[in-house]
Structure 1
Amino acid sequence: MVVTAQRRSESIQRVPVSVTAIAPEVLENRRLNDLTQITRVAPTLQTGLDNTFAIRGVGTTAFAGTIDSSVALAIDDVNYARPGLGGLSFNDVSGVEVLNGPQGLLFGKNASAGLLNISTVRPKIDRWEGITDIEVSNRATPGNDRASWGFQGRQTINVPVGETSALRLNGLYSYQDPVTRFVGTRGSRTETNYEQYSLKAKYLYEPSGGLSLYLIGDYNETHGVAGLYDSTYRQLDPQSIDRAPLAASGITAGPDNFQTAGEGGLWRDVKTGGAQGTIAYTLGSGIQISDIAAWRFYDQDQNNDADYTASNGASRNYTNAHYDQYSNELRIALPTQNRLSGQAGLYYFQSSLDTFNQIGGLNFLPAAAARGYPFCVGVTPVTGARPPVCSVNNDYFLGSDKRYTLDTKSYAAFGQLTFDITDALKAIAGGRVTRDELDIHLAQGQANYFTNLGGPRATIDQSYGNTNFSWKAGAQYQFTPVIMAYGFYGRGYKGPGFNDTAPNATASLAIRPEISNTAEIGLKSSFFNRKLVINVSMFHSKFDDFQVQSFDTILRAFFVQNAAKVTSKGIEANVMLAPVRGLTISATAAVLSSKFDTFPGAQCYPTQTSFGCSATVTTFNASGSTLPVSPKFTNSVDVLYEFPPEGGFKPFVGANWYHRSSFAYALNRAPGTIVGASDIFGANIGFALSSGVRMSLFCKNCTNQHIPSSIITEPGDAAARNAAGVATPRLSYVQQLGRDSVRIVGIASTFRF
């Protein structure tokens, strides 16, 4: 398999990094339609909330749009610097690579833990081509009074334009029914389904003389919340404030609870898109000079009924955001066949994020009572009237709001070179100097609330800058043409950020950069004319100033902080076996230990009494605790048998198994956020015709395990107080269910012409 893990095409068996490569045939066979499903074939990868990911146990556990991801995303050589730009279904993808460990030297910015590298098919100059792909699926959603269906259609057309250029057009439409059953009030806008529209155009021009021009433009829309905000109550505290409202809707909390409610509106509209251009020129010496300029954007408008009941506890959780990023990368690449090879370049990035967010609700009180006497807003009631009135009324009984603009600029100079000391031994060295400059304008608490969630009313302007040098040094040795060993030590970097909530008017919002230091050794080998491939790697990473988010039960808001030190270490293995013609067995596995070395500011979970937590002590040192979403062992096995073709008819049958050991979703390992080991099975059967037709019947999560994509402690109960204002924390849990949280059975067809 050919990968671009070092920004150049080379065999996966020759690239000196740990990488899991997923070919388009695997995506098609297993019907893996987006990045969240890649976890089933890449054991080092785990998913988080809002299109965030963790690699080797390390990721970004934060809702804030004001910090970057530890795991970066690059599509067609452009770094997507915010999770809001991701989340789209795959369309015309030529490969997905999960690069483990720091990758920031060659891929844009901020990849301290790893990188998801996606490539799409380039236009084909000499070929007319059309591909139609249709998938219809059904989900086994408990409690629904009707079937839960999904549909996805993809269309590709490749058109030669003269003898030196081609145009490739991609279109996609996806519709998915909700995973949960909505039993609330639909008086306001409630869109529990999910729809996506995508259009992409790619143009490639390659005249003679070593010049090439590659242009890409795309526009995408997604609407609805299915698979994104399908949240239900998993466990209720006996004294939970949500108990009566849930009972009124007939909802019983539990792991198999697939019912949710609301009355404040439930919708999500996201528009994303952009344009990019790559111009490259290859000199007669083989040196290539290239420049990639790109612009990406997203617009987001959404509301999520934050209490998940049909009563107004906190029915408004509204976000409106607009994001733009511009980047330019100039690179010079030396020929790979030279004794000295590699690349160097300059990188520029700037972005602007404008966001408004408001949480508001009546705490299950009548509207008149919540907005009038005795719940006045920080003022003495006007007592001359009968009954007394407030001189200032509430917008909501409880809530918070924030509006911020974040401007980011990043400059970098980078290079990585490989020198052939002998025909077998290569030395590798690289470095990157990065300068980040950030500015934030934050206005919070501008509306009136009897109970304020978060910091006080304030307007804050702050700036932060940082210069970093990240680097890598290593070597690889080719023992035989089919056995290669490598090793390196390197420093990764994730830039600074800001909190989007201030605990007080003078607080510093700055989040320091996250630094990783990684040592890795690996062996890549193949035997019996590549019928057996065995790749193994071992790694040890230490993170300083690790950026994490936790819920402050005193201020009743989420805050990001630098969590001192983290150590992640483990072993990864990939094995591929093709013992007989037509049979392929692929297996990957990862053994992982990812723990905090020290984290003195970790938030206690409600009612916690261990590690010194109490009613008056709300933080503890999480030293020795395992990071969230960090299973100790994961593995994936995929078996595919393609029968010998007869008369243009080629049947196939496949099966797969994914195992994940137990882990906790929460940083503080609250008991209800720990899930046990899971085994997920899939299968597919079908046939391909020489005419270009392919049909298959597939099953994912065939045994119908109910697997949440996240579990959190319910914030309302966590921050509960009695009538006297004394904290009375309660421990309840809310789970989020994804589209793969239940069994999926479907039919897929592909037509090539």
Structure 2
Amino acid sequence: MSKLIKLSPLLLIGISQMAMAQSETATVSEDEEQGIKEIVVTAEFKETTVQRSSLSLQVLSRDEIATVRRPNDLNALVPGVQIGSSGPNPQVFIRGVGDAARNSRAQSGVVFNIDGVALVRPSAATANFFDLERIEVLKGPQGTLYGRNASGGVLNLITARPKLDETSGFASFEAGNFNLVAGEAAINLPLGEKVALRVSSKIVDRDGYLSDGAQDQRTRAGRLRLFWKPSDSFDVMINADASHVGGKGSGVTTRPVFQNNPWYSNTDTRLLPFPFQFGPGTAPFTAPTDRSIDADLWGVSAEINADLGFGRLTFVPAYRTQKQEVVSFNSNFRFSETVDDRTISAELRLAGEIGDLEWILGGFYFDFKNNAAIYPGQGSFNSSQQFVDRTISKAVFGNAIYSVSETLRLIGGLRYTNEATDGTFVNGRGAPPVIPFVPTSGVNQFAPLEVNKVNWKFGLELDVAPQSMLYATGTSGFKGGGTNSTPCGGPSFGPEDVRSFLFGSRNRFFGNALQVNGEAFLTKTQGQQVSALTQVCAANGAPGPQGFMTFNVGRATVYGGNIDLLWKPTANGSLHFFAEYLKSRADSFSFSQIGAGAYTPAQLSLCSATAGTAPFFNINCDGLPLPRVPTWTIQADYSHKFVLANEGEIVPKVFVQRVTSRFLDIAYGPNGTAPAYTNVNFEVTYTPPGNGWILSAFATNITNAAIYTSGVSVPANAPNGVRYYTAHIEPPRMFGARLQVNF
């Protein structure tokens, strides 16, 4: 806590002194033409505004996410969030907490929710970025209200709701470079006085931006929402969505850069030398031409609300399924995976008020069954595994806010979770469809894993002026454990526990024209889970091939602070500035692996490797910063509305983001540092009188910055004598235009 205590006084005392200086009679007027509008959120299962919330929270409006087509696009909009990719799996980190695993058995550390339903994998959200009302980004553990695997935070996708007594909608068309063609449409239809239906869909076709055509987008998605409100005390929302993701899918480039082109694919055989060249030595994979993704996802859910007088009852049942086949490549290593899973979940909440006490009680049930197979292939080696695993999680929770006075509120929350995971696996050889799978073992049992966790939250909120609040909170969360898949079994890894302490202030000044928010925070992680390419065991227990393993390494600390300024100098102008400082440290970071691998002295890793009982080596990375945690993220944007003589409007907006360097993975090698970058985006929008249509032109990453968001070392030396890295890279300069017709 000492580091946070040193950092927080300047931030909090300074802001609070400005807040105290405000007039006690100041009021917030939404009708003020120049004033900053309030943003309503439901992140705590109730309606409140951002300025009255003590969460570490950032909200993206419908306009801000107009060009967001996939999870990775959030990197340019949300400081502290780093979203990379491995195959089809987005790897989401918030302030150093997340998950870097590379297969379907991963446990995400940041949860995506769509209309209150948790998604098991971030990949399930890939095609759902359309017809959104807003995105709520909750930073830090959310273990009491959101439960398992919200240890790093939560991303809430809030889709547009049906509206009673209104017929409306829109249709948009978008085109741009890399042969981008996209369309989106939605219609809202009243079905009588008490029922409304909203139907929406989106299509995206865009060629890949890597040199071999990888990193393309071929998505089709649709959504239906039916709202029924027979009375003021009862309503039902029924949701259904379906999506398809196809194309070549995700790909990676190399570090160091090859051919002076950061977007040169690691498997482009036209020029790349060994070890990335495919040829007779890697038969039958003589060329990486079958890279692909074929995923079908759908889900149904409901939200039922009933006012019982003494409280409001909410029931959210859901069923989701995902079927997916993926082929991807890492150097001369072919990896294919099939997934067929289903998730059943249900949450029941009761919320109410008793005097000065505002409370919520709830229960949660989660049943996930995964039938999958992984087929890694490297030359003649093609050891594979088919497995079935199941996770059942049950939880009860409660949260309360007690108003001690008109200006002071106390917060408390608890959640108890029981989670059990087990399953079976069959070893074999094969790389379908090239080489059929042939079992080499009988059915084996994964070691069962059961976890019982209690998560907590406490805090206070203090109104120091009518438009200023100080707050302090402590929260905890956990990421579930699991088992790895190797030819000789499934070694398990335990859960990861995260605790976070937050001090902050939210303020409005000068007639609601200036907003000044700030936070200081400290996050402690125990049982930190990491994933890395290490040597695994062969079928007989001897040293085998390279494989990705997840394991617990110890403890870590992240602390820092941010300042968030929003200023409307005129009725038509808006300036937003955000700066975040992060400092991270691996307090206890050690593990054991077969062979020294990336940690041999010749590889110049910052970690140390000492020989243990042969063939194992003990790896120690104590004191190093955590991967994917930049020290500074600074961003600013400015927009200005120009009203034309015909009363039409032109609104240009420029956005600049600066992110400092950071490590890509835990090998900590010389080629594994992602350089600092500056990302510049621009958009201009024209709206004619009447708002019947909107025309926009946009350009992203105007400076063609190389933006790396994830990576891993591969067992081959680069020209500088140490290991290559394969890394996910964001798109180069992209531009286009969008026409939207409203009705």
TM class by smaller structure: 0.7 to 0.9
Q: Which residue of 2 aligns with 1:675?
A: 674
Q: Which residue of 1 aligns with 2:655?
A: 656
Q: Which residue of 2 aligns with 1:429?
A: 412
Question: Which of 295, 320, 334 matches 2:338?
Answer: 320
Deviation at 1:509, TM superposition (A): 2.5
Question: Which of 491, 494, 503 matches 2:479?
Answer: 494
- 1:206/1:248 CA distance change after superposition, 3 Å: closer
Aligned partners of 2:603 and 2:723 also within 8 Å: no
Aligned partners of 1:84 and 1:298 also within 8 Å: no
TM-score of the pair, normalised by structure 1? 0.83
Aligned partners of 2:142 and 2:476 also within 8 Å: no
Question: Which of 569, 575, 587 matches 2:577?
Answer: 587
Do residues 479 (structure 1) and 464 (structure 2) align? yes
Deviation at 1:665, TM superposition (A): 0.7
Aligned partners of 1:105 and 1:415 also within 8 Å: yes
Distance 1:233 1:548 in 2: 22
Q: Which residue of 2 aligns with 1:550?
A: 532
Aligned partners of 1:265 and 1:305 also within 8 Å: no
AA in 1 matched with 2:51? Q
Deviations 1:543-592 (A, max 9, x none): 11111111213541111101110111110221100011110111222100
Do residues 608 (structure 1) and 603 (structure 2) align? yes
Q: For 1:181-192, list aligned pairs within 5 A.
A: 181-182=211-212
Q: For 1:135-534, list aligned pairs within 5 A.
A: 135-138=174-177, 148-182=178-212, 193-226=216-249, 228-229=250-251, 231-235=252-256, 249-251=270-272, 262-285=287-310, 287-307=311-331, 313-314=332-333, 316-335=334-353, 339-362=356-379, 397-446=380-429, 459-461=443-445, 462-501=447-486, 504-505=488-489, 509-534=491-516
Deviations 1:709-745 (A, max 9, x none): 4332224x379xxxxxxxxx9622323334xx20011
Q: Which residue of 1 aligns with 2:157?
A: 118
Aligned partners of 1:42 and 1:588 also within 8 Å: no
AA in 2 matched with 1:232? T
Do residues 20 (structure 1) and 19 (structure 2) align? no
Aligned partners of 1:493 and 1:516 also within 8 Å: yes
Distance 1:708 1:37 in 2: 13
Do residues 692 (structure 1) and 685 (structure 2) align? no
Aligned partner of residue 603 in structure 2, secondary structure: coil
Compute the RMSD of aligned alpha carbons: 2.8
Q: Give the unaligned 5+ runs of structure 1.
A: 139-147, 184-190, 238-244, 255-260, 308-312, 363-396, 449-455, 720-728
Deviation at 1:32, TM superposition (A): 2.6
Aligned partners of 1:23 and 1:95 also within 8 Å: yes
Deviation at 1:529, TM superposition (A): 2.1
Deviation at 1:463, TM superposition (A): 1.1
Deviation at 1:149, TM superposition (A): 1.6
Question: Which of 504, 523, 537 matches 2:519?
Answer: 537
Deviations 1:677-713 (A, max 9, x none): 1001111123112232111111100111233343322
TM-score of the pair, normalised by structure 2? 0.84
Distance 1:614 1:494 in 2: 30
- 1:544/1:192 CA distance change after superposition, 3 Å: closer
Deviation at 1:264, TM superposition (A): 4.8
Deviation at 1:458, TM superposition (A): 7.3
Aligned partners of 1:714 and 1:731 also within 8 Å: yes
Distance 2:526 2:103 in 1: 20
Aligned partner of residue 84 in structure 1, secondary structure: helix
Aligned partner of residue 627 in structure 2, secondary structure: coil
Deviation at 1:252, TM superposition (A): 6.9
Deviations 1:352-400 (A, max 9, x none): 01111112243xxxxxxxxxxxxxxxxxxxxxxxxxxxxxxxxxx2232
Deviation at 1:645, TM superposition (A): 4.9
Aligned partners of 1:431 and 1:469 also within 8 Å: yes
Aligned partners of 2:108 and 2:122 also within 8 Å: yes
Aligned partners of 2:148 and 2:477 also within 8 Å: no
Aligned partners of 1:58 and 1:594 also within 8 Å: no
Deviation at 1:617, TM superposition (A): 7.3
Q: Which residue of 2 aligns with 1:627?
A: 626
Aligned partner of residue 600 in structure 1, secondary structure: strand
Aligned partners of 1:236 and 1:733 also within 8 Å: no
AA in 2 matched with 1:700? T
AA in 2 matched with 1:22? L
Distance 2:296 2:305 in 1: 30
Deviations 1:46-83 (A, max 9, x none): 11222121111221111132232111111101111223
Aligned partner of residue 144 in structure 2, secondary structure: coil
Aligned partners of 1:538 and 1:570 also within 8 Å: yes
AA in 1 matched with 2:103? A
- 1:114/1:236 CA distance change after superposition, 3 Å: closer
Distance 2:267 2:162 in 1: 54
Q: Which residue of 2 aligns with 1:68?
A: 107
Q: Which residue of 2 aligns with 1:374?
A: none
AA in 2 matched with 1:549? S
Deviation at 1:209, TM superposition (A): 4.2
Aligned partners of 2:82 and 2:709 also within 8 Å: no
Q: Which residue of 2 aligns with 1:706?
A: 706
Distance 2:234 2:738 in 1: 40
Aligned partner of residue 27 in structure 1, secondary structure: coil
Q: Which residue of 2 aligns with 1:33?
A: 69
Q: Give the unaligned 5+ runs of structure 2.
A: 1-38, 259-265, 276-285, 432-439, 536-542
Aligned partner of residue 123 in structure 2, secondary structure: helix
Distance 2:144 2:68 in 1: 29
AA in 2 matched with 1:224? G
Distance 1:467 1:163 in 2: 48
Aligned partners of 2:219 and 2:243 also within 8 Å: yes
Distance 1:64 1:175 in 2: 26
AA in 2 matched with 1:537? E
Q: For 1:717-732, list aligned pairs within 5 A.
A: 717=716, 731-732=723-724
Deviation at 1:118, TM superposition (A): 1.3
Aligned partners of 1:98 and 1:115 also within 8 Å: yes
- 1:676/1:155 CA distance change after superposition, 3 Å: same
Aligned partners of 1:356 and 1:403 also within 8 Å: yes
Aligned partner of residue 73 in structure 2, secondary structure: helix
Distance 1:13 1:233 in 2: 43
Distance 1:743 1:172 in 2: 23
Deviation at 1:750, TM superposition (A): 1.3
